């Protein structure tokens, strides 16, 4: 498939060219993750499903792509100051690991309710943990304080062109590995992953469908698409801890213009999708990572005539950092 030009690419924080540059920049650091399939799951879904296993990425999630691109984009002077971010999990670990590879400090602001397994990943990769309260205002204020005190460079978890470009490299790989895909289903939270995926995929194949998968208990993206503007929720309630953020001013225009629809599912459907990943694919996937499969199997998708022709679907298994305690509790409810 030939790449198509984005006539309005100047409107967006990233484009196919920055994504291609990111692919070259991070190639020696990231894993080219496998694409798996299962005849059993195909039969259950009634469609061909191809799973892009970012749960096998370094750090256990796709986030390493964006973090790596952001850190290796810095000139030596800026890099020497270190980097800072605020994150509840996978981005925190990814940035810590990427910073370790470049030999620079990483200051990671983490909310007190972050999953223990993800906090341990940050520490394992050498990140300096700074705690904040479990709300966005506290996270951002604490990160700003660290920037002021250290001079480190802020790398936002998703609302950053370098992050978006890095995440988009996953779509380049997926369409090289499975060019027959006509639809890609991607988890959505802050929008960094789906922004990169949508920009890359639709540049290569303008006819491809890009659908977002979102928990009902954190359905700000679905509401935003309906309203035509960013909607922030007063609170979120979902087992998918990686999908509780809200769209940013850089990700929203891309989601608005390139994402075809948002499919919402409840936590019970997410947990069942996790179970299927374990039992059939033999892959450990966190709730946020399983939501794409949950979306394909949901009534919201199956009964929508708009998507009846989606026959070869790429599903992003975005991460595998599971908080087992929470998972077992959810199975027993």
The CA distance from 95 to 97, in Å, is 5
The CA distance from 235 to 219, in Å, is 10
Catalytically annotated residue among 38, 88, 195, 224: 88
Residue spans of alpha helices (H) in the chain: 16-26, 39-45, 63-73, 76-80, 90-102, 116-124, 136-150, 161-177, 192-204, 220-227, 251-258, 267-276, 287-297, 299-302, 324-331
Catalytically annotated residue among 63, 118, 202, 225: 63
* End-to-end Cα spacing for the chain: 47
Residue linked to tokens 């080219």: 32
Distances (CA, A) of 225 to 5, 26, 157, 213, 254: 25, 32, 21, 13, 11
Distances (CA, A) of 150 to 119, 129, 137, 142, 144: 22, 14, 20, 12, 10
The CA distance from 174 to 66, in Å, is 16
The CA distance from 59 to 108, in Å, is 15
What phi and psi values does residue 192 have, to the nearest 5 degrees? -65, -45
User: Is 63 tagged catalytic?
Assistant: yes
User: Is 88 tagged catalytic?
Assistant: yes
| Type and span of the H or E element at 215 | strand 209-215
The CA distance from 123 to 51, in Å, is 30
Distances (CA, A) of 235 to 97, 218, 220, 326: 30, 8, 10, 19
Residues serving a catalytic function are 63, 88
């Amino acid at each position: 498939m030939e790449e198509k030009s984005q006539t309005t690419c100047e409107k967006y924080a990233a484009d196919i060219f920055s994504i291609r540059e990111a692919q070259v920049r991070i190639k020696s650091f990231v894993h080219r993750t496998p694409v798996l399939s299962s005849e059993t799951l195909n039969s259950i879904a009634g469609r061909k499903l191809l799973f892009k296993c970012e749960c096998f990425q370094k750090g256990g999630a796709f986030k390493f792509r964006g973090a790596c691109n952001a850190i290796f984009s810095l000139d030596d002077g800026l890099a020497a100051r270190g980097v800072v971010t605020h994150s509840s999990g996978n981005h925190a670990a990814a940035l810590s690991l990427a910073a370790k590879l470049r030999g620079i400090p990483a200051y990671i602001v983490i909310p007190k309710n972050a999953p223990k397994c993800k906090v341990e990943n940050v520490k394992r990769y050498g990140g300096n943990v700074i705690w904040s309260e479990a709300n966005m205002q506290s996270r951002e204020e604490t990160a700003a304080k660290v920037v002021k005190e250290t001079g480190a460079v802020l790398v936002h978890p998703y609302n950053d062109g370098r992050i978006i470009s890095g995440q988009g490299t996953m779509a380049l790989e997926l369409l090289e590995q499975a060019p027959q895909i006509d639809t890609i289903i991607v988890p959505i939270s802050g929008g960094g992953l789906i922004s990169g995926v949508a920009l890359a995929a639709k540049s290569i194949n303008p006819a491809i469908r890009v659908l977002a998968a979102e928990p009902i208990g954190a359905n700000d993206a679905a509401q935003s698409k309906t309203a035509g503007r960013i909607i922030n929720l007063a609170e979120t309630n979902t087992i998918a801890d990686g999908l509780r953020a809200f769209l940013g001013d850089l990700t929203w225009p891309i989601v608005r213009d390139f994402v075809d629809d948002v499919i919402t599912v409840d936590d019970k459907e997410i947990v069942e999708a996790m179970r299927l990943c374990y039992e059939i694919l033999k892959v450990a996937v966190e709730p946020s990572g399983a939501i794409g499969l949950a979306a394909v199997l949901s009534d919201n998708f199956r009964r929508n005539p708009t998507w009846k022709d989606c026959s070869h679907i790429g599903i992003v298994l975005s991460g595998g950092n599971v908080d087992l305690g929470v998972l077992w509790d959810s199975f027993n409810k």
